């Protein structure tokens, strides 16, 4: 079973081919207590190079180019022994492709239309072992939020 290296500092990679989105998200998450954005990648190859070389807890993956790209990355990362988690960020929901992505090992899917504080909470929930925030009750979500210094949602 996967466990983050250091429960107090989650090491994150952001993978998106959209520079503005990737940079903005990195700045948002770097400002959060307990998050360290260790790399911003524009391609799956860049992400794989970092995953192979350094410990990473969660890869945040922008699904703008379709679910096949996500499935390929997850499969490749697992084949080199990556035991961390993936959080797929999507604009819409393509049911069949997302189901495949989840089956291959993504820990959850986050809609990009949600508020930033919801993303922070989703990352914390996934790090805590959830398969996504929908698997937790409001009480569990609030407990995790409070333990990380966030407000209830």
CATH number of the domain where residue 97 is located: 3.40.50.2300
In a domain, 152, yes or no: no
In a domain, 26, yes or no: yes
Name the one residue in this structure whose structure tokens are 């797929």.
88
In a domain, 3, yes or no: no
**How confident is the model at residue 120, as a pLDDT?**
96
In a domain, 38, yes or no: yes
pTM for the structure as a whole: 0.78
Q: Is 1 exposed, middle or buried, given 0-12, 13-18 or 19+ CB atoms closer than 10 A?
A: exposed
In a domain, 88, yes or no: yes
In a domain, 103, yes or no: yes
Q: Which domain holds residue 92?
A: 10-147
**How confident is the model at residue 93, as a pLDDT?**
60
pLDDT grade, residue 133 (50/70/90)? very low
pLDDT grade, residue 99 (50/70/90)? confident
pLDDT beyond 80 at 4:
no
Buried b (16+ CB within 10 A) or exposed e, 128-148: eebebbeebeeeebbebbeeb
Q: If you average pLDDT over every residue of the chain, what do you get?
A: 80
Number of independent structural domains in the chain: 1
pLDDT in tens, 55-65: 999 999 987 75
In a domain, 115, yes or no: yes
In a domain, 1, yes or no: no
152 DSSP 8-state letter:
P
Strand order in the sheet with 58-62: 35-41, 10-15, 58-62, 85-90, 108-111
């Amino acid at each position: 079973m996967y466990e983050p290296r250091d429960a107090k500092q989650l090491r994150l990679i952001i993978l998106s081919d959209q520079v503005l989105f990737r940079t903005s998200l990195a700045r948002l998450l770097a400002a959060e207590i307990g998050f360290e954005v260790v790399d911003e990648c524009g391609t799956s190859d860049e992400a794989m190079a970092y995953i192979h070389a350094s410990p990473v807890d969660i890869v945040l993956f922008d699904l703008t180019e379709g679910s096949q790209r996500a499935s390929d990355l997850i499969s490749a990362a697992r084949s080199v022994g990556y035991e961390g988690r993936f959080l797929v960020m999507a604009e819409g929901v393509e049911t069949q492709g997302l189901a495949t992505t989840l089956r291959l090992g993504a820990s959850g899917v986050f809609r990009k239309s949600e508020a930033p504080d919801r993303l922070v909470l989703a990352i914390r929930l996934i790090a805590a072992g959830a398969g996504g925030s929908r698997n937790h009750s409001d009480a569990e979500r609030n407990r995790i939020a409070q333990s990380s210094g966030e407000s209830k949602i």
